[in-house]
Each structure stands twice: as structure tokens, then as C-alpha cells.
Amino acid sequence: MANISVLLVDDHALVRRGFRRMLEDDKDITVVGEASDGEEAVRVAITLRPNVTVMDCALPEFSGIEATRRIRGAWPDAKILMLSMHAEETLVRQAMDAGARGYILKNALDLDLVTAVRNIFEGQQVLDPRVAAPSSLKGERPGGLTPRELEILQQIVAGKSNKEIAVDFKLSANTVAVHRANIMDALGIHKTAELVVYAIRNGLVTLP
């Protein structure tokens, strides 16, 4: 079998070391690089062009989902396996919509990373049996939130007002208000406090 090159992306060095050991126990797999945040993940993936990128969902700078979207935007053939602590359906769909080929839970005791990487490399889609295959949630538009809506959601969770977000993004406060309303409609949520809790619980935003 051909040697499979892998890029490991996780903000914890200890986790990366454990995954590296797990993967390199297989003679056909070589870890060719590591990254610890979203920005570095995009840069290293596009430079090294590994066969498979193992991407943590929750990363500093920006999320693994956003990193996946950017990598696939620059390199459409990239094969990315998303690892997450969360099994929520909306998060799975955000990852798959961004271009991930697989989604598995990293805290599973029986995590078989080698098989998942092999299957992704061979062109299969990999979904952890503990996560629901993505389908439309009640009150949620198909395809989830747009990249701009996710950026604005991040600012809402940070407690910024429409006016402050407008300044940051060089938009009018009215445009931000429309985005906020669209986000709430898309998720079927009508109170900011509930929106913040939902976004954090489902990993739609990156916490500092």
C-alpha cells in the first residue's frame, strides 16, 4: 500500500503526540507535519499537501471548520478528517459543508484513528456511529450558517453590540442587525442569551 502522509492539527501538544504515536504505529502512515491553530493549519496544509489532514474542531485563531473551509477553498482535493468532542448534528453538518470528508469523536475510548485515516485516504466518507448523519434541523436552514454569519456570531458571543460589530467589519449597524436576525431565524432561536449558549454548546464559535 502507498505511504499515507498526514498533517495533525490540535492545539494541545500532548494530544498531537498521542495521535502521532497511534498513527505511526502503522507502517503505511507518516505524520509529515503538525499545526496548533487554525491559521497555521491552513498555511501548513497548503504547503505540505498531505494525503489526509486530521483536524481538531475547536482551535485558537479560528475553528477547525473555518480552517477546513479555507483549505478546501485553496486546494479543493484536500482530504480532511474532523475530530471533535461534540456530537451535535448541526456541528457535524457545518464540518461536512465546509468540506470535511469525515467526522469522529476524539474522546471515544475505542477511537480508531488509523482506520479512519485509511478510509478517508481511499476516498470514503467517515462518520462516527455516535453522531447523527447531518440533516436539516427544525427551524434551521439547509447548509447551516454562512462564513460571514459565523464571523458575526463569534462577535455576538463575545458580547459586542451591533454598533461595535459594524465598526469591526466596516458595515452599517443596520446590516449587522439583519445578519443577527438571519442567524436567529436560521437556528430557530429568538433570544441573544439562548443564541450564545447554543453557539458555545455546539462549537459554532471559538472560545478564547
Q: How far is CA 129 from CA 25, 91, 99, 133, in A?
A: 24, 15, 19, 9
pTM of the model: 0.67
Is the pLDDT at 165 greater than 90? The verdict is yes
What pLDDT shows up at residue 138? 38
Question: Any idea which architecture 4-127 has in CATH?
Answer: 3-Layer(aba) Sandwich (3.40)
| Domain residue ranges of the chain, discontinuous segments joined by + | 4-127, 147-201
What pLDDT shows up at residue 136? 42
Is the pLDDT at 83 greater than 60? The verdict is yes
pLDDT tens by residue, 98-109: 999 999 988 776
Is the pLDDT at 137 greater than 50? The verdict is no
Sign of CA dihedral 137, 133, 143, 71: positive
What pLDDT shows up at residue 107? 75
What pLDDT shows up at residue 38? 94
What pLDDT shows up at residue 193? 86
SS (H, E, C) 48-101: HCCCEEEEECCCCCCCHHHHHHHHHHHCCCCCEEEEECCCCHHHHHHHHHHCCC
Contacts of 47 (CB under 8 A, 6+ apart): none
Query: Cell digits for 194?
Result: 439562548
| Percentage of the chain lying above the pLDDT 70 cut | 91
Tell me the pLDDT band of 199, cut-offs 50, 70 and 90.
confident
Is the pLDDT at 39 greater than 90? The verdict is yes
- CATH code: domain 147-201 is 1.10.10.10
Q: Compare 53 and 175 and report the one with higher pLDDT.
A: 53
